[in-house]
């Protein structure tokens, strides 16, 4: 207290003469303002999240392991300091010669503060710049031990993980719900070192050889002259490239399908894409493809929702992931493998396993579950963790090895290289989020941002000065030993295997595997995207590609564009058997973790609203209460969305607990047209009408208590239609929604004409 008192006194003295409102607050000085509003005068925990950051109320009191490193620095310590730890009396005024200046060059605090700010941004990822991540745990089932000796796959072994999901094309600040492939990158901090599985939500890729990666990315990124469009494939250069480079047809078709607009990161499959090689304890190898299967099922938005959300809540997927974890509704995926004998041909059922534009249908090689991933904690700091995490397909552990896939080979170079630009040097493995949990004993030294204080004098091998340390590990000591794959004598060539020339059989397989409504969406997506293309020749060329995939697809897209449908060359369409596993329609999934909007009005019975919310929570749903204003309905019934901020696209299902009439509930409504009072009756609030109308059009389940009928009528909701429940029993209303959410949407309500 002695010296501290003096410092405080001096600071107080220095503050004399400054108007009281601008005076820096001293530690311990009494505050005159209410505690939640005033700047705190002594260290205390950060304020709770602001209302618009509030996640839905927790489903369970989940134990949290934030995964933050033990030395995490927070800003609620005692005193503001410089980066050198010197305490500061003021951070609001530059050092000046008198209050009117000039500013003095010797102001180190000003210089340091602005210097650091000037360098806050680092280069964003050249692809996959936009992403969101979470911590979790992976538990091995032990079912893979016959094919891989990887320790983390053994039964019951729990491994901490960090998973980052992303879009590919957009910049860091772009919208989440654009039509694009999604990245699904997992870092396993295993006891044998870090293993990264850097996959996508689409099992195939645009190109068969990494040397084409700059081409496809340049074509898909915004045009270099005006830098538009952002985070879109709906433009000339993309379609120019994929129509000339037809090995991209399969991936493009997946992008145009519902897979290109996932409902949530929680509801996407993930794929390792390449064929990998697993090696067991006896040294026997097996070729495999990795699959992540979400326990919540694979679900998508519809295109209109995706477009609306991009404006209404560009952070939709990021928020959805964080909210679900915060609410204790932890997303889960099973990791599975398809296994193939490691033969010299490296084919399975005639499919070339080294061709990343091909899948192996699950009906031919079932996906065998080998472990489960649970995401259970949000990052503590976005930049430190989500932005600085660095994945690399070459981060492998004993028991998991690569194949000669030429796309994978190029990736093994690219990911190390990109971190040097992005993270500023070769020491990115020392950034907390990238640090292995296994002991590190490398001989890498120096370089920018060297964090370690290495001891010893002999960072080389062999040495005698450091006692010969560190030593090499033998096969029984968890060493990573490359599988000794024989390499056949061959001439150096720039060529692909002959089977790689088949660009159309698998796009056709995918198309034929989709349900009618999913095909309808594919047609609509191609028509939308090509409508945005200016060059007629490019549209025509895409149609010639589509003709080789399927006549109906080609004809319907051509019709939408107002162009003649070209004929495919005779025999161009190959006979393929569909793979029902590729369709997202027709299965049932748990409704757990789905978002339910509960629409209330000033006339709603608060007891009933409470009952609905509890029933929804008991069913594992995440209910959000929508009300005319933000005023709580009761002490225990906070409002999460006002009418002004609610839009149907946020919800998987809508539950109406009162008919919101204009007049009583129109606070904030500014739409003059909707204020019409018909026949002396107050009209329904236009925003509530739109909510019900959109939810109905997007084939979402709807339920309403008896007075919802007026809303149904105004919103064009047919009360007899499938997936619309109207009644007086609150519990039945919720169970009707839960039942219907099992299929994600009420598919019967979508018109589907493409067969």
Question: In whole angstroms, how close is the CB of 356 to ligand HDD at the nearest point?
Answer: 5
Exposure of 77 in the CB half-sphere (CA atoms within 13 A): 9
Is residue 710 a contact residue for ligand HDD (CB under 6 A)?
Answer: no
Is residue 265 a contact residue for ligand HDD (CB under 6 A)?
Answer: no
Distances (CA, A) of 682 to 249, 399, 636, 655, 659: 54, 70, 30, 22, 11
> Judged by CB under 6 A, which of 94, 230, 414, 527 binds ligand HDD?
414
Question: In whole angstroms, how close is the CB of 104 to ligand HDD at the nearest point?
Answer: 43
> Judged by CB under 6 A, which of 94, 368, 418, 642 binds ligand HDD?
418
Nearer to ligand HDD, 290 or 651 (CB): 290
Catalytic, 483? Answer: no
Nearer to ligand HDD, 320 or 405 (CB): 405
Is residue 273 a contact residue for ligand HDD (CB under 6 A)?
Answer: yes
> Judged by CB under 6 A, which of 138, 162, 213, 526 binds ligand HDD?
213
Nearer to ligand HDD, 210 or 711 (CB): 210
Distance (Å, whole) CA 119 – CA 121:
6
Nearer to ligand HDD, 141 or 213 (CB): 213
Is residue 164 a contact residue for ligand HDD (CB under 6 A)?
Answer: yes
Crossing angle for the helix pair 516-531 and 536-549, nearest 10 degrees? 160
Catalytic residue, from 109, 200, 251, 427: name it. Answer: 200
Tokens of 709: 């009928």
Distance (Å, whole) CA 275 – CA 427:
30
Is residue 198 a contact residue for ligand HDD (CB under 6 A)?
Answer: yes
Question: In whole angstroms, how close is the CB of 600 to ligand HDD at the nearest point?
Answer: 40
Is residue 199 a contact residue for ligand HDD (CB under 6 A)?
Answer: yes
Is residue 183 a contact residue for ligand HDD (CB under 6 A)?
Answer: yes
Question: In whole angstroms, how close is the CB of 291 to ligand HDD at the nearest point?
Answer: 13
Helix (H) or strand (E) holding 186: strand 182-190
3-state helix vs strand vs coil in the chain, percent to 5:
30, 15, 55
- Residue pair 566/545 in contact (Cβ under 8 Å)? The answer is no
Q: Closest-CB residue for ligand HDD?
A: 183
Q: CA 151, 157, 159: angle at the middle one, nearest 5?
A: 85
For the beta carbon of residue 467, count every other beta carbon within 10 angstroms.
10
Question: In whole angstroms, how close is the CB of 406 to ligand HDD at the nearest point?
Answer: 9
Is residue 723 a contact residue for ligand HDD (CB under 6 A)?
Answer: no
Distance (Å, whole) CA 45 – CA 39:
13
State phi, psi for 154 to the nearest 5 degrees.
-70, 155
H/E/C letters for each residue in 375-395? Answer: EEECCCCHHHHHHCCCCCCCC
User: What is the DSSP code string of 322-350?
Assistant: HHHHHTT---EEEEEEEEEE--TT-EETT
Nearer to ligand HDD, 382 or 415 (CB): 415
Distances (CA, A) of 710 to 260, 688, 706: 37, 11, 9
> Judged by CB under 6 A, which of 137, 210, 351, 353 binds ligand HDD?
210
Task: Compute, in degrees rounded to 10, the torsion defined by CA atoms 187, 188, 192, 193.
Answer: 20
Sequence-distant (6+) residues with CB within 8 A of 20 are none
Tell me the CA end-to-end span of the chain in Å, nearest whole number. Answer: 81
Nearer to ligand HDD, 337 or 754 (CB): 337
Question: In whole angstroms, how close is the CB of 147 to ligand HDD at the nearest point?
Answer: 22
Catalytic, 667? Answer: no
Residues of this chain, 74-133, that bind ligand HDD according to CB under 6 A: 125-128, 131
Is residue 174 a contact residue for ligand HDD (CB under 6 A)?
Answer: no
Name the segment binding ligand HDD (CB under 6 A); options: 137-145, 199-207, 616-624, 688-696: 199-207
Question: In whole angstroms, how close is the CB of 210 to ligand HDD at the nearest point?
Answer: 4
Is residue 268 a contact residue for ligand HDD (CB under 6 A)?
Answer: no
Is residue 246 a contact residue for ligand HDD (CB under 6 A)?
Answer: no
> Judged by CB under 6 A, which of 415, 438, 560, 742 binds ligand HDD?
415
Is residue 292 a contact residue for ligand HDD (CB under 6 A)?
Answer: no
317 closest CA partner among 182, 149, 413, 447: 182
Residues of this chain, 306-365, that bind ligand HDD according to CB under 6 A: 356
Tokens of 379: 């990052």
Sequence-distant (6+) residues with CB within 8 A of 639 are 625, 626, 627, 629, 630, 631, 632, 633
> Judged by CB under 6 A, which of 149, 295, 358, 411 binds ligand HDD?
411
Helix (H, G, I), strand (E, B) or coil at 589: coil
- Residue pair 657/599 in contact (Cβ under 8 Å)? The answer is yes
Nearer to ligand HDD, 130 or 541 (CB): 130
> Judged by CB under 6 A, which of 200, 252, 264, 604 binds ligand HDD?
200
Nearer to ligand HDD, 290 or 316 (CB): 290
Helix (H, G, I), strand (E, B) or coil at 126: coil
Nearer to ligand HDD, 163 or 655 (CB): 163
Give the residue numbers annotated as catalytic, written as ranges. 128, 200
Q: Which residues bind ligand HDD (CB under 6 A)?
A: 125-128, 131, 164, 166, 183, 185, 198-200, 205, 210, 213, 273-274, 356, 389-391, 407, 410-411, 414-415, 418
């Amino acid at each position: 207290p002695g010296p501290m008192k003096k410092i405080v006194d001096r600071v107080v003295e220095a503050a004399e003469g400054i108007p009281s409102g601008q005076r820096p607050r001293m530690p311990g000085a009494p505050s005159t303002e209410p505690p939640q509003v005033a700047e705190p005068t002594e260290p205390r925990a950060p304020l709770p999240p602001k209302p618009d950051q509030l996640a839905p109320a927790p489903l369970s009191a989940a134990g949290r392991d934030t995964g933050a490193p033990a030395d995490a620095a927070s800003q609620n310590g005692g005193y503001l300091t410089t980066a050198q730890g010197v305490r500061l009396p003021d951070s609001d005024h530059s050092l000046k010669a008198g209050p009117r200046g000039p500013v003095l060059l010797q102001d180190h605090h000003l210089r340091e503060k602005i210097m650091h700010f000037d360098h806050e941004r680092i280069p964003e990822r050249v692809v996959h710049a936009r992403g969101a991540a979470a911590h979790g745990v992976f538990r091995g089932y032990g079912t893979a031990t016959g094919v891989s000796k990887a320790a983390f796959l053994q039964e019951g072994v729990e491994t901490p993980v960090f998973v980052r999901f992303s879009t590919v094309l957009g910049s860091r600040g772009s919208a989440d719900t654009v039509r694009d492939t999604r990245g699904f990158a997992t870092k396993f901090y295993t006891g044998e070192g870090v293993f990264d599985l850097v996959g996508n939500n689409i099992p195939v890729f645009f190109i068969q050889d990494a040397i084409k990666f700059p081409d496809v990315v340049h074509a898909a990124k915004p045009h270099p002259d005006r830098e538009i469009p952002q985070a879109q494939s709906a433009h000339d250069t993309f379609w120019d490239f994929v129509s000339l480079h037809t090995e991209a047809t399969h991936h493009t078709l997946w992008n145009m399908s519902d897979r290109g607009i996932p409902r949530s990161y929680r509801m996407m499959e993930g794929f390792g894409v390449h064929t990998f090689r697993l090696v067991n304890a006896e040294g026997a190898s097996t070729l495999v493809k990795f699959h992540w299967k979400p326990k919540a099922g694979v679900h998508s938005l519809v295109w209109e929702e995706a477009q609306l959300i991009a404006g209404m809540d560009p952070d939709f997927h990021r928020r959805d992931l964080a909210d679900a974890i915060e609410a204790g509704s932890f997303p889960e995926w099973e990791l599975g493998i398809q296994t193939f004998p490691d033969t010299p041909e490296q084919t399975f059922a005639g499919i070339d396993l080294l061709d990343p534009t091909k899948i192996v249908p699950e009906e031919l090689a079932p996906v065998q579950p080998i472990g489960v991933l649970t995401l259970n904690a949000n990052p503590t700091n976005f930049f430190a963790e989500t932005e600085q995490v660095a994945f690399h397909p070459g981060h492998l552990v004993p028991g998991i090895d690569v194949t000669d896939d030429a796309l994978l080979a190029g990736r093994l170079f690219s990911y190390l290289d990109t971190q040097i630009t992005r993270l500023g040097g070769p020491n990115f493995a020392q950034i907390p989020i990238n640090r292995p949990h296994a002991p590190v004993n490398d001989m890498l030294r120096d370089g920018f941002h060297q964090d370690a204080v290495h001891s010893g004098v002999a960072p080389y091998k062999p040495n005698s000065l450091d006692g010969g340390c560190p030593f090499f590990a033998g096969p029984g000591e968890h060493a990573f030993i490359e599988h000794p794959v024989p390499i056949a004598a061959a001439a150096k060539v720039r060529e692909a295997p002959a089977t790689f020339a088949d660009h159309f059989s698998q796009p056709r397989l995918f198309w034929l595997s989709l349900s009618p409504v999913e095909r309808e969406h594919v047609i609509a997506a191609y028509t939308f995207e090509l409508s945005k293309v200016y060059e007629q020749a490019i549209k025509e060329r895409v149609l010639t590609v589509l003709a080789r995939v399927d006549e109906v697809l080609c004809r319907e897209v051509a019709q939408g564009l107002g162009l003649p449908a070209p004929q495919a060359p005779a025999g161009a369409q190959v006979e393929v058997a569909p793979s029902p596993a590729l369709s997202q329609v027709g299965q049932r999934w748990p409704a757990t973790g789905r978002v339910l909007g509960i629409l209330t009005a000033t006339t709603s019975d608060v007891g009933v609203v409470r009952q609905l919310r509890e029933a929804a929570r008991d069913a594992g749903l995440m209910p959000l209460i929508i009300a005319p204003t933000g005023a709580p309905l009761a002490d225990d019934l906070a409002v999460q969305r006002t009418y002004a901020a609610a839009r149907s696209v946020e919800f998987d299902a809508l539950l109406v607990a009162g008919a919101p009439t204009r007049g009583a509930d129109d606070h904030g409504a500014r739409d003059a047209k909707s204020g019409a009072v018909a026949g002396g009756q107050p009209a329904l609030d236009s925003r509530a009408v739109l909510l019900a109308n959109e939810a109905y059009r997007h084939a979402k389940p709807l339920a309403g208590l008896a007075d919802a009928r007026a809303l149904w009528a105004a919103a064009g909701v047919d009360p007899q239609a499938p997936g619309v429940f109207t009644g007086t029993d609150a519990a039945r209303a919720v169970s009707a929604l839960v039942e219907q959410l099992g299929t994600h949407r009420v598919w019967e309500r979508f018109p589907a004409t493409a067969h």
